[in-house]
Amino acid sequence: MIQPLRFEPLYRERVWGGRGLESKLGRTLPADAPIGESWDVVDRPEAQSVVTSGEFRGLTLREVLRRNSDEVMGPGYDPGRAFPILVKWLDCRERLSLQVHPPATVASELDGEPKTENWYIADAEPGAALIAGLKAGVTRERFEAALGEEALEEFVHRFEVGRGDSIFVPSGRIHAIDGGNLILEIQQNSDTTYRVYDWGRVGLDGKKRTLHIEESLACIDFNDIEPEPVRASGEDCILADCVEFRIRKMHLGPGKADLVFPAGQTASLVHVAEGEVESRDGETALRRGDTVLLPRASEHAFVAGAPAVVLVTDRFHSCAAGRIPAQ
């Protein structure tokens, strides 16, 4: 039996970041730096998750898939193909840039990668908000005129969010995250982002960050009007179900059924959003903020002694992800 795979987080300094991953998730962060992102599951040439326990301890995710792709992902999975999903935590102390990711139809023309993602709001300060899509009545012509005047605020769809809310962000959707949000981001394995506007901010080097106006205008879906989030509730539900992945929100605890993953069905990712859970055999204990990869070849089951919320990401086997060069 292959045990769930746990990985060492990779932290990224960001001008809009803070120390929330430390205070809210109990992480040990690099000292005296605004940490905006934790890459918890990643298989890219420039960044590799390393397994922290079990039989694969010390190996990168790339090495695990190269050696054991059939057991982890299923028969026929190309061992040279990158893991299709990238899992991040975002600590947004300040507003992120207004940005867009390229749809698959234009990504290759722009020498980029398509990127569809989902944001789960693990914590939010009072009044915290997201920006997603355009306001009703906004046209491409009006948007471009406002862009030239750097007056975009009234043209984008901004709405307040709270703990437990979630929103799907397909490629082509213009978006930004306001300050005061702690977010679990589950996305295609991509690192292509085009900044439309950066609110006049400068980067950590004191210089204005690069904008990608032409690329952004080629990607923005101008028919994407005022999308709504999935609001928090006590019910199990599907947060996202698309070509790239499916994300389910599940509630565990006394009186509720165990969360069971039969052997031979599909590889899955389990993310603990609230509380703590453990495997039925007692070998794996997970707390808030943890993510594990469940190999397809083995059965896995999780229980919770107190109320807990977990997200389950699956159906990503066919999600496009390029081959990783030999390392």
Catalytic annotation, residues: 195
Q: Which of 322, 320, 324 is nearest to 116 (CA)?
A: 320
17 contact partners, CB below 8 Å, separation of at least 6:
33, 34, 35, 36, 37, 91, 92, 93
Q: Which of 146, 69, 122 is nearest to 310 (CA)?
A: 122
Of all helices (H) and strands (E), which one includes residue 194? Answer: strand 194-197
Distances (CA, A) of 5 to 45, 46, 105, 146, 265: 20, 21, 34, 47, 17
Q: 216 is written with which tokens?
A: 């952004």
CA 11 – CA 28 distance, rounded (Å): 10
Strands (DSSP E) along 55-143, which ranges?
85-92, 98-100, 117-124, 129-134
**Coil, strand or helix at 23:** helix
CA dihedral sign of residues 109, 242, 170, 221 = positive
